[in-house]
Amino acid sequence: QVQLGESGGGLVLPGGSLRLSCAASGNIFSINAMGWYRQAPGKVRELIARIWADDSVDYKDSVQGRFTLSRDNARNTVYLQMNSLKPEDTAVYFCHVNVVVRGMDGNRDYWGQGTQVTVSS
């Protein structure tokens, strides 16, 4: 019903930058929220940044000021610009969307397959 296409992960030096992209496609009536989570080995998945339908954005405290989430409504795409990356930012990053699907009741959550971000010298 809904597919998420992620891109932009990779290996970067500490202090470097990466930009992640996530495009939602399928039978979408409306998007309530869209953003990124991450999961490091042995740790729980955590919210990094999320943008709501009213354009408000939530950030994890440790990425505030370094990461910026933006959205292209026409393309149902979000971009996570990550600057001043640190080794502790290393994780698999997952795109997430909460949507209303055409012809179905209620809100539904969908996840991308994940993209690896490694910050290392």
How many beta carbons lie within 10 A of that of residue 63, not counting itself?
Answer: 21
How does strand 57-59 pair with strand 46-52? Answer: antiparallel
Per-residue pLDDT of the chain (121 residues; tens, 9 = 90+): 899 999 999 999 999 999 999 999 999 999 999 999 999 999 999 999 999 999 999 999 999 999 999 999 999 999 999 999 999 999 999 999 999 999 888 899 999 999 999 999 9
Q: How far is CA 74 from CA 49, 59, 79, 96, 108, in A?
A: 20, 23, 13, 18, 20
SS3 call for 58: strand
Q: Which token pair is 117?
A: 């971000």
- The reported pLDDT for the residue numbered 32 is 97
pLDDT in tens, 35-53: 999 999 999 999 999 999 9
